[in-house]
Structure 1
Amino acid sequence: MVFTALLCVLLSLCSCRAQVPLVLWSSEGYGLPQQTEPAAGEIVSGGELVSYMKSALTTSPHNVVLFLQDRLSMDDFTVYGGVFGNKQESVFLNLESTLEASAHLVLPSLDWSAALSVEELFQEELGIPAVHIKAAEFPQHQLNSSQPSLLVFRLPYTTGTQLKELLKKNDETIGDVLNSLKARGVPYTAVYTGLKPSHITEDFSVSASGGFSGRSLLQAPSNTTARAPVVFNSTTSGPCILLWANIMNISYDNGPWFNLAPLTFDNIVNLDGSICNETLSRLVLNYGNVLTYKSFQVVFEMSKVYFPVSARNWTLMEHVVLNYDGQSVLFNASRGIYAPAEYSFHCQTVSNTDSPLLVPNSTLDNATHWRILFTDFQIQGFNVTGNFSYASDCASFFTPGIWMGLLTTLLMVFILTYGLHMIMQLRTMDRFDDPKGPAISVPQNE
């Protein structure tokens, strides 16, 4: 089966960490344009989802039906679907049979924060408001086939022994809605996804002290929760700056570290003073009572610059500024923090100490008294579409480990080649004469 075989392959290649699957299909008689499917393991961002939607709506009907389940993961298809067992035992009979008979697209790894905005993305693309409707009321709902429509059906999710029955009931709801549309002769484009993942696998990350955190026994799940990024919204263009970090440590005169992350992401940090336009983005994080200072600011200044050599626009982090009680320190970052303007920038460690990406301004002596350490740092100042775009990572392709492996391999190849050359030069003797002179002749007595 097309759907089950596709899911079987995708399930073996991707993980279920903070992501949800999305299935898009059109009614019979309508096809989807050829689209490049995401690479195995790649998590589709909000910007990539928009491109998939726009491409699909060029040929598929503009009557869109959204089936938004409270929670959904690929594990639900694995356990309760017909992927690894008898299809007759699957709870997704209607969905699977529909996909086998129609053109469809499966995104197994959609960023769950992007899934939250699926409804808003379709509203913006179609230019119409969404209509939330219950499945039981749909047969009496009037549809105008000549006008686009956006119908949203919310599907519940539970845990425990009732999950299988609930998923089966949700599949029957999908089947009833699609059969009703078919009976009315209304062409449609349907989407089935979840608002949050039902299963999340925690990954490990590097802590500020250099060790690994996040490892735990399978029986003891981590208590950490994912924080939402800081979003600055322009009054004219919507979201224009995104910032996220696992740890945002600062220290003065080798004192103890102060982590700004809880104040930044757990609470609503004040963004007064932030601006963004086509060429400049400035994100200002305003705090109070940091270390011994009553007022404290962290400012990220970014600019968009066109480089003729690469023939594209780049985002440069010009400066990172700390303002505290009327004083300022400035760190230059343009040589280390940059990315294509369409991408976000990500780096595991951003600091001004070891392998610094932040260089203190030589004209400010007090800048050398400050220490900055941001871990799992990601920022985007241009072309924001609701969520982080593909990340340009600061890690070089040839890491020290790769160089050590290459040099060791080249050394071993050289030794092997030299040994083979010496063996090939060996020659066996073709004469066994005594080189000292003629053979001795012994006369015999008669």
Structure 2
Amino acid sequence: MAELRRRRRSLVMAFIALFVAFLASGSATPQVPLLLWSSESLPPLASPSAGHITSKDQLTSYLDAAFGSGSHTVLLFLQDKLSKDDFTVFGGVFGNKEDSAFKHLEAALQSSSSSVTLPALEWSGSSAILPLLQEKLGVSPVLVDADTLSHLSINTSVSNLLLINLPYCTGLHKSCREVLHDNDEIIGNVLSTMKATDVPYTAIYTGLRPSQVITEPSMTSQAAGRALLQAVVPDVKPPIMYNVSGSPCIMMWAQNLNVSLSATSEWVDLGAQTPTLTGSMCNSTNAVLVLNFGSGFTLRFAMSQRFFSVSARNWFTLDFVELQANGTTAFYRGNRGIYAPAEYSFHCQSVNSFRDALLVPQNSSQWRLNFIDFQIQGFGLNNGTNFSYASDCAGFFTAGIWMGLVTSLLMLLIFVYGLQMIMNLNTMDRFDDPKGPSISVPQSE
């Protein structure tokens, strides 16, 4: 009986270990985010595609372009641990910005002349940014804080590397939100001191190591399945940009701007032509991008933004698209699917007027529209050459997510069924055949 219980316990433990090993069979790629902004200008950097992990070589080449010549003053905010989930959970990316733990950091990014965001920087066991900066600037780091920085005389004729170490939550005394909020206050005090001294600087905020390992396969050594403004194709056309007084106001990019006269006629790709922007305009509440093509086509995109008290933030919508061709005008109203926070851009793999239409025809015109890999932003262009964070039209529960959920549920049912079978094993209470003759043992006298 004891032997049977021991064997049953061993089978249960083996089954649990096999199930856990199956769920944990994914490959983990450690990564840390990196935010870079400057009071001066930075070299442009194309927005990384979804899932892309920036390698050390890519970071090195960008730092070569950023700090290639002249003297620079660099502020390195190096936190003990940092992951991109820290921004989504405790920042203002989702929810009310008033409750964000990164108020000073977000304000610095919005007010800076230019900024670069790397959501996933490859991490290989040690922080790569500090030795890289030492090599590019040719100086050793100086450990400072907000108090010592105010009394420090900075010589702008030579390069300076100022290191500010920031802690991370340990769970002993303060919560993660409180620790990150205190770190944000330190960042705000340091930036205020630099602003008071009127010294041009470049600031970098990253982590010494990730606060958690993101289970996600690396895409640096394989072709990306979907890319937006990424050099997967050798020659990528630049986005269409409308400037006012030298400052960017509206940006739009599309792989194809296809129009068709009817369901049976051929498509015409207007994206292959270079348009003029005569008639475009923008202000704080409205933006109109007019694309005048030499072939006689004109596309007009009208956008507006307003404050929504429910989400406590401004949102922009694409109100309508107007197509003029061959003396006819077609209007297409943007339904509720074409919207994004005012400081974001809107992206969708397909924006069309005939299938799962995001553009609803408003007259009897037979013209059809189909914009492939479409991205537009009419407000909040602070970095000049790059789109802001993209709000995608794709639903959260994609086909891949549903497949993963169904597969996990199936494995869980198999596990529960097997565990129940093992736990219901019973021992035999007798060892002879009850239907046969009983065992007779004669007694000898």
Q: Which amino acid aligns with 1:243?
A: M
SS at 1:288 equivalent: coil
What TM-score do the two structures reach when normalised by structure 1? 0.52
Q: Do the aligned residues in 2 keep the contact of 1:202 with 1:214 (CA within 8 Å)?
A: no
AA matched with 1:419: G
Taking the aligned partners of 2:376 and 2:247, their CA distance within structure 1 comes to 16
Cα distance in 2, alignment partners of residues 202 and 282 from structure 1: 39
CA RMSD of aligned residues (A): 5.3
User: Structure 1 residues 433, 247: closer, same or farther in 2, change over 3 A?
Assistant: same
After alignment, is 352-361 or 435-444 more displaced?
435-444
| Counterpart residue type for residue 396 of structure 2 | F
Question: Aligned residues: percent identity?
Answer: 41
- The alpha-carbon deviation at position 405 of structure 1 amounts to 1.6
Any conservation in 2 of the 1:336–1:358 contact (CA below 8 Å)?
no
CA contact under 8 A between 2:251 and 2:378: conserved in structure 1?
A: yes
Q: CA deviation at 1:425?
A: 1.0
Q: Structure 2 length normalisation: TM-score?
A: 0.52
Q: In structure 2, what is the equivalent of residue 232 of structure 1?
A: 242
List runs of 5+ in structure 1 lacking aligned partners: 1-6, 43-47, 57-73, 75-82, 105-144, 152-185, 193-199, 208-212, 216-221, 290-294
Aligned to 2:256: 247
Which of 1 and 2 has higher RCO (CA within 8 Å, sep 6+)? 2
Q: Decide whether aligned partners of structure 1 residues 433 and 326 sit closer, same or farther in structure 2, where only a CA change above 3 A counts.
A: same
| Matches of 1:226 and 1:297, distance apart in 2 | 23
> One-letter code of the match for 2:354?
T
* Offset at residue 338 of structure 1 (A): 0.8
1:355 aligns with 2:356: yes
Figure out how many residues of one structure are paired with residues of the other and give that number. Answer: 293
Structure 1 counterpart SS, 2:294: strand
SS state at 1:231 partner: strand
Task: Return the alpha-carbon distance in structure 2 between the equivalents of residues 257 and 204 of structure 1.
Answer: 27
Residues in 2 aligned to 1:9 and 1:336: alpha-carbon distance in whole angstroms: 30
Q: Is the Cα–Cα contact under 8 Å of residues 27 and 189 in structure 1 kept in the other structure?
A: no
Aligned partner of 1:51 among 108, 133, 136: 108
Provide the C-alpha distance between the structure 2 equivalents of 1:277 and 1:445, rounded to a whole number of angstroms.
117
Tell me the residue number matched to 1:138.
Answer: none
Q: For residues 13-55 of structure 1, give each alpha carbon's deviation from its aligned partner in whole angstroms, at most 9, with x where no partner exists.
A: 51449x833459x999x98484888959x9xxxxx99935968
Matches of 1:34 and 1:328, distance apart in 2:
54
1:14 maps to what in 2?
Answer: 54
Match for residue 288 of structure 2 among 279, 282, 290? 282
User: Alpha-carbon deviation of 1:304?
Assistant: 0.5
Q: What is the aligned partner in structure 1 of residue 279 from structure 2? A: 273
Give the partner amino acid of 1:262.
Answer: A
Provide the secondary structure at the position in 2 that maps to 1:20. helix
* Kept after mapping to 2: 8 A contact 1:297/1:323: yes
CA distance in structure 2 between the partners assigned to 1:305 and 1:187 by the alignment: 35
Query: What does residue range 247-326 of structure 1 map to in structure 2 within 5 Å?
Result: 247-253=256-262, 254-263=264-273, 267=274, 269-289=275-295, 295-326=296-327
Aligned to 1:334: 335
**Deviations 1:332-385, CA, capped at 9 Å, x for gaps:** 223211110011111222222343322222xx122xx33322222111011122
Give the gaps of 5 or more residues in structure 2. Answer: 1-30, 35-51, 88-104, 114-120, 122-127, 145-152, 160-196, 204-219
Answer whether contact 2:33 2:83 (CA < 8 A) is retained. no
Structure 1 position 93, deviation (Å): 8.0
In the TM superposition, what whole-angstrom CA distance separates every residue of 1:126-145 from its partner, at most 9, and x where no partner exists? Answer: xxxxxxxxxxxxxxxxxxx9
- For 1:31-430, what aligned pairs fall within 5 Å after superposition? 32=75, 34=77, 51=108, 95=136, 97-98=138-139, 100-102=140-142, 189=200, 224-234=234-244, 238-253=247-262, 254-263=264-273, 267=274, 269-289=275-295, 295-361=296-362, 364-366=363-365, 369-385=366-382, 386-387=384-385, 388-430=387-429
